[in-house]
Amino acid sequence: MALTTLKEMAATRRAKFGTVLIELASPGIGHILKAAGAQFVFLDMEHSGFGFDTVKQLLRYMEAAELPAFVRVPSRHYHHIARALDMGAEGIMTPMAGTAEEARRIAAHAKYPPLGNRGVALGIAHDRYAPGAPVTKMRAANRHVAVFLLIETRQGLENVEEIAATDGIDGLWIGHFDLSTSLGIPGRFDHPDFLAAVDRVARACARHKKSFGCLVLDVEGGIAAYHQGFDMICYSADVWLLRETLSRGIGDLKAALAGRRRR
């Protein structure tokens, strides 16, 4: 069965593959990613220059391509979480989750009453501007919205069991650079302490039946991540893919034509 929503993806340990948008916001980008085989897209607001207007446009492009999208919002605050969802994100990801109390608060911000405290605005982007009974729409949104948290601090790692057990959280992601930095080993992803941290989060996700995601920069890294227990795998990001493909192509052309004269 095809997985068509983020919620469905988070509910299975089957491998799912997507990519990150951090730079490109062309109207055709959703169709390009879908044609390339992406199953989901991660829109990054934390480390990009994307504002909410740009993200709202990108979400419409993803809808047109029928490509599920979640937004990494720039903070754990209500106004970032609720605003991204109101614009039509299928899910949100928040940075630097540290405690189970924070996890409960984030889940509540993403859910309508009685499950949470998300403010109600209907007939706008998130429900495709359509009319309908408020209670029906609110219940549907509570079933549909996916919530992911980034484990990228020592505090989050220490509390990962309780965070993973939190109702309303669909998955955890590893923030590689921040987690390694918090552990005092920045960028040393083969260090025993980092590998132990990944294993600790993987075991918590498995115990509590939560999805486990990460970013990888190459195919070998993606294969290794799958064997470490990751099931949602983001393959690189737009800016790196463009740079590396262009660099490789131009480099190969230069090498092939070096020293040759035009006839």
Instruction: Copy the structure tokens of residue 49.
Output: 């220059």
Catalytic residue among 31, 47, 144, 176: 47
Nearest to 195 by CA among 207, 179, 211: 179
Instruction: Copy the structure tokens of residue 171.
Output: 């998955």
| 31 has catalytic annotation | no
List CB contacts of 86: < 8 A, sequence separation 6 or more: 121, 124, 125, 126
- Using a 10 angstrom Cβ sphere, with 0-12 exposed, 13-18 middle and 19 or more buried, the burial of residue 13 is middle
Task: Determine the Cα–Cα distance for residues 68 and 93; give it in Å rounded to an integer.
Answer: 14
Nearest to 214 by CA among 173, 186, 178: 173
Instruction: Copy the structure tokens of residue 160.
Output: 């990962």
Task: Determine the Cα–Cα distance for residues 40 and 29; give it in Å rounded to an integer.
Answer: 12
Task: Determine the Cα–Cα distance for residues 84 and 90; give it in Å rounded to an integer.
Answer: 9
Catalytic residue annotation: 47
